[in-house]
Structure 1
Amino acid sequence: MIEALTGMGLSAAAGLNAYIPFLVVALIARFTDVITLPTSLTWIESGWAIGIGSVLLLTEVVLDKIPAVDTVNDAVQTFIRPSMGGLMFAASSAAEEVDQSSWMAENPWVGVVLGVVVSGLVHAGKSTARPAIDAGTLGMGTPVVSTAEDTASVGLSLAALLAPILALVGLVILAFVLVRLVLMMRRWRRRRQGGSSTGRVPGYP
């Protein structure tokens, strides 16, 4: 159960920002004894992996805060975030200090699939809501929302590794917020469509 909560928390964090949970896991594994990655995944905590992840994170943080550019970035991340979610779930479920389930250890593909699904759902909610936020706030809300997402990704990642029960609470809150944003997006689209469909040519009834 603990490894499932940890994996779900990290996967959800990857749905918001693919590189934050990666770096959190990499740095904690490299400099602490909180988790010990299996031999097949020790490359995550290598210097070159941390360096590349840092550059990618910096790029993501900048692009995600620019209106319109963030939508393009989300499209590119459609494949990256779910893949990272699968990797993070697999890494956490296989870590010696986290893994308490022999069944998960014997069926590692389950963790990968769950990670891809959780991360993909979060990414879908984020990328669906962003265009409405960009348009509805004339771009001014974009950096604010992006910063909130990055903060949530950091919080979820740390909670998943250090206090998995808190990660569950964070997942519930995140799901609630994403659903509200998606509903807001749909209402905004309906208003736009309704406004355009009721338009009349001047001089005609």
Structure 2
Amino acid sequence: MLEFLTGTGLATSAGLNAYIPMLALGLLDRFTGLVDLPAGWTWLSADASLWILGVLLLLEVVADKFPGVDAVNDAVQTVVRPAAGGIVFASGVGTETTAVHDPGTLFGGSGWVPVLIGAGIALAVHLAKAGTRVGANTVTVGTAAPVLSAAEDVSAVGLVAAALFLPVLVAVLVVAVVVGLWLLARRFRARRTRGRADAAPGGSEWTA
């Protein structure tokens, strides 16, 4: 059960930012004893992987803060984030951490099952994030983009930390992320609807 929560937390994080959970797993496996990646995923901690992930994370963090650019980035990430979600879920369920001492064989010999589950989780989160961002940029003329992006990055880091060190919190954090995205999308959709109504002929009444 803890392995599944670990994978879920990592995949949800990847739906917000593809590179944060991948880089975290690689760095912690490479430089600490807190994470021990399974044999099939040790490439995440290779020098080339860490450098590439670091550069991609920097580009992602910067691009996601600018309205317009964030929309293009989200379009590209529609492929990248689910792929990252599949990788981190599959590696996470087989990773030994301070919280998970015996990962076992949660999915037996079905190697593609965790990859598909992780990709599905990350894709759902990504679509919710991208949809919310479009509504926010429309209503706020892009001013909300850096604030939302920073909140998403912090949430992604928090999900990774919980997934690796306190998996029991993952369910709470995932629910919080999903509800938060839903509430934001609903709020911006309502504001956009009111704005259109006010802009329509006869939508506003003026008194002398």
Is TM-score (shorter-chain normalized) higher than 0.5? yes
Say whether 1:145 aligns with 2:148.
yes
Alignment of 1:79-158 (within 5 A): 79-97=79-97, 98=100, 100-158=103-161
Q: Percent identity of the aligned residues?
A: 42
In the alignment, the residues of structure 1 paired with residue 150 and residue 166 of structure 2 have an alpha-carbon distance, to the nearest angstrom, of 23
2:80 is aligned with what amino acid?
Answer: I
In the alignment, the residues of structure 1 paired with residue 196 and residue 38 of structure 2 have an alpha-carbon distance, to the nearest angstrom, of 53
Say whether 1:57 aligns with 2:60.
no
**1:145-180 C-alpha deviation (Å, 9 max, x unpaired):** 111110110111111001101222111110110111
Contact 1:5 1:165 in 2 (8 A): yes
Q: Which residue of 2 aligns with 1:203?
A: none
Spell out structure 1 runs of 4+ moving beyond 3 A. 96-101, 188-196
Aligned residues: 199
In the alignment, the residues of structure 1 paired with residue 75 and residue 191 of structure 2 have an alpha-carbon distance, to the nearest angstrom, of 21
In the alignment, the residues of structure 2 paired with residue 77 and residue 146 of structure 1 have an alpha-carbon distance, to the nearest angstrom, of 14
2:138 is aligned with what amino acid?
Answer: A
In the alignment, the residues of structure 2 paired with residue 82 and residue 100 of structure 1 have an alpha-carbon distance, to the nearest angstrom, of 23
Shift of 1:6: 0.3
Q: Which residue of 1 aligns with 2:8?
A: 8
In the alignment, the residues of structure 1 paired with residue 131 and residue 195 of structure 2 have an alpha-carbon distance, to the nearest angstrom, of 16
TM-score of the two chains, using structure 2 as the length reference = 0.88
In the alignment, the residues of structure 1 paired with residue 112 and residue 134 of structure 2 have an alpha-carbon distance, to the nearest angstrom, of 34
Alignment RMSD (CA, Å): 1.7
| Change over 3 Å in CA distance of 1:44–1:83 after alignment to 2 | same
In the alignment, the residues of structure 2 paired with residue 112 and residue 40 of structure 1 have an alpha-carbon distance, to the nearest angstrom, of 13
Structure 2 segments unaligned to the other structure (5+ residues)? 203-208
